[in-house]
Amino acid sequence: MRVHLPLAFLAASMPALLTSTGDAADEIVVLSAGGAHRTVVLVIDGPGGAEVALEEAAKGLDVSFSRAGRDAKVTLRSGGREVTLENGKSLFSVAGQLRALAAPVRVVGERTYVSAPSAAIVLGAALGQTATYRTAYRALVIGAYDAPRLRLVNLVSVASVESTIELSKPVPYEIRKEPNRVVVIFQADVMETDFVAEALPGRIVVSARFERASPPRLTFDLGDRFGSVKTSERDSQHVGLLFDTPPIAGAWPVPGGPEGPTGRPAPGKSVALGTGFQKPIVLVIDPGHGGDDGGARGPGGKLEKDVTLALARRLRAAAVDSLSVQAYLTRDNDMEVPLDERAAIANNFNADIFISLHANGSRAASAKGTEVFFLSYTAADDEARRIAMQEGEITERTRGNDKDVGLILWDMAQAAQLEASSRLAGNIHGEIAEAALSRSRGVKQAPFRVLVGATMPAALVEVGFITNPEEEKLLFSEAHQVRLTNALVQGLGRFIAALRANP
């Protein structure tokens, strides 16, 4: 809806419109000096599109208006600065210089109408401050206005959805429980966020979405498995919402599995729930080597087993935090774990993804870069054979010469996953190649023993060459580890998004 009536009439007869949040498309907000000044301005339709009245937008700002030339010329004054506009002209003067506007100025009665972006230019010139019009927020921002930033993390598990709202600075808020939804309303003029909306599995909370309304709000749409919501505040910048299922026996169909005393599944049991439910994605991260097996050694004496463990721990934390997955390590300290056992751990966890982390080694100190592997049963070339030997190659037994059927089945486990594994490797490579600040050696295949028994998509990542003096230093720096972790999370995120869309 656009307002075609004179503003004075509207203000007198329909004051509710001025504060209405239901039809915010016809308003813009003026923000200045850290939000100290805020005016809602009605927007009207002019010949060239939506326009705002400068007199309205300047309310509360240190700007005076005067008219001359039978009211055709309008002058804005502030702190010795003068800006003059003229009816019908697509320009204005400031300090004797002419500047262009996108559309002609319209003087109608007591009001001087320009487009919202032009209002920012004109008021900014009058006030001697930078001013911009932010289309996404419908806000005319004068001077430095530091909008609060919002981040939302949703952790979905079988029995609950844990949502954490992170704010860059404290913002007063109100939580409203409405039928079928929970709404968090923030007392802020605008909020910055990358979060738009997220569909959540499990039917406790169906979706979370952010609306840039006035005031801005987060809405959690509740599903048929929703029972109750508890809110908590760790501090004024972290608001937690815990959405639970009803604590009633029978609410949980647990096919074939024993139930706990509350009717919930016994802990540790993987359960398949009714239609529409997706079990949480499980990620198993394998820090390569460990214990007596130090892996490759750098010229500075650093060991591969230490960087793989450091990266794996970071990745576990980051994946749980931002991918809403369950994540486990095959080793969480400096211990030796046999190669076959690493894939077995992933199988025992019923993992959806298995990723083995390594740092490469080469006799050539200049060798550098990242590469991501998935399994092949034979080495395609000498380089693949060299790396497979370094990281543990498939032996003759695991190539299937053994007569033991059980072993052969185990050895073929990864064969069924090769297509998915190649996608996983591709997704990870797509992100890590750039983050590694080095050349990408691509996605490759090699006969890795550690991958062969994994019954889920699996990839081995060489995050860089520890034998390269520069990369050795990089790999042990916190900044680089964070960069690599973020890239791994991004790559895994892409794979997981596809998995969730098409389980």
Residue ranges that bind Zn ion, judged by CB under 5 A: 288, 295, 358, 391
280: its two tokens: 């949480």
Closest distance of CB 361 from Zn ion, Å: 8
Least distance CB 359 / Zn ion (angstroms): 6
Question: Is residue 252 a contact partner of residue 273, using CB atoms and an 8 Å limit?
Answer: yes
CA distance 245 to 223: 10
Q: Taking the complex as a whole, how short is the minimal distance between the CB of residue 494 and Zn ion, in angstroms?
A: 25
Q: Minimum distance between the CB of residue 451 and Zn ion, rounded to whole angstroms?
A: 12
Sign of CA dihedral 359, 360, 361, 365: negative
Exposed e or buried b per residue across 409-432, where buried means at least 16 C-beta atoms within 10 angstroms of its C-beta: ebbebbeebbebbbbbbbbbbbbb
* d(C-alpha 80, C-alpha 101), whole Å: 22
Q: How far is the CB of 356 from Zn ion (least distance, A)?
A: 8
By beta-carbon proximity to Zn ion, the closer residue of 391 and 431 is: 391
Q: Count the helix, strand and coil residues of the chain and give each as a percent rounded to the nearest 5.
A: 30, 35, 35
Q: How far apart are CB 431 and Zn ion at their closest, in Å?
A: 20
State the DSSP string of 210-256.
EE--SS-EEEEEE-TT--EEEEEEEETTEEEEEEE----TTSS--TT
CB of 428 to Zn ion, least distance (A): 16
Q: Which is nearer to Zn ion, 358 or 423 (CB)?
A: 358
Pick from 207, 163, 167: which is nearest to 188 by CA? 167
**8 Å CB contact between 358 and 342:** no
Gap between the Cα atoms of 317 and 258, Å rounded:
31
State the nearest-atom distance from the C-beta of 461 to Zn ion, in Å.
10
Taking the CA atoms of residue 202, residue 204, residue 207 and residue 210 in that order, the dihedral angle to the nearest 10 degrees is -140
What's the min distance (Å) between Cβ of 483 and Zn ion?
Answer: 20
Residue closer to Zn ion by CB (options 252, 465) is: 465
Closer by beta carbon to Zn ion, 148 or else 288: 288
What letters, b where the CB count within 10 A reaches 16 and e where it falls short, cover 376-392?
bbebeeeebebbbebbb
Report, in Å, the least distance between residue 206 CB and Zn ion.
43
Q: Which is nearer to Zn ion, 295 or 369 (CB)?
A: 295
Q: In this complex, which beta carbon is closest to Zn ion, that of residue 359 or of residue 499?
A: 359
Q: Among all residues, whose Cβ is closest to Zn ion? A: 358
Q: How far is the CB of 432 from Zn ion (least distance, A)?
A: 16
For residues 371 and 411, which CB has a smaller minimum distance to Zn ion in the complex?
Answer: 371
Pair of tokens at residue 269: 């049991």
Name the residue nearer to Zn ion (CB basis): 288 or 298. 288
Q: Which is nearer to Zn ion, 101 or 384 (CB)?
A: 384
Cβ proximity to Zn ion, 122 vs 450, nearer residue: 450
- Nearer to Zn ion among residue 17 and residue 329 (C-beta): 329
For 72, phi then psi, to 5°, come to -75, -30
* Surface-to-core class of residue 239, CB atoms within 10 Å of its CB (0-12 exposed, 13-18 middle, 19+ buried): buried
CA-closest candidate to residue 330, choices 350, 345, 317, 315? 345
At its nearest, how many Å lie between Zn ion and the CB of residue 162?
Answer: 35
Cβ atoms of 390 and 319 within 8 Å: the answer is no
Compare residues 184 and 387 and give the one whose CB is closer to Zn ion: 387
CB of 317 to Zn ion, least distance (A): 22
Q: Which is nearer to Zn ion, 295 or 491 (CB)?
A: 295
How many Å from the N-terminal Cα to the C-terminal Cα in the chain?
42
C-alpha span between 441 and 360 (Å, rounded): 12
Handedness of CA 471, 477, 483, 485 (dihedral sign): positive
Give yes or no for a contact between 445 and 374, defined as CB atoms under 8 angstroms apart. Answer: yes
- DSSP single-letter state for residue 43: -
Rg of the chain (C-alpha set):
31
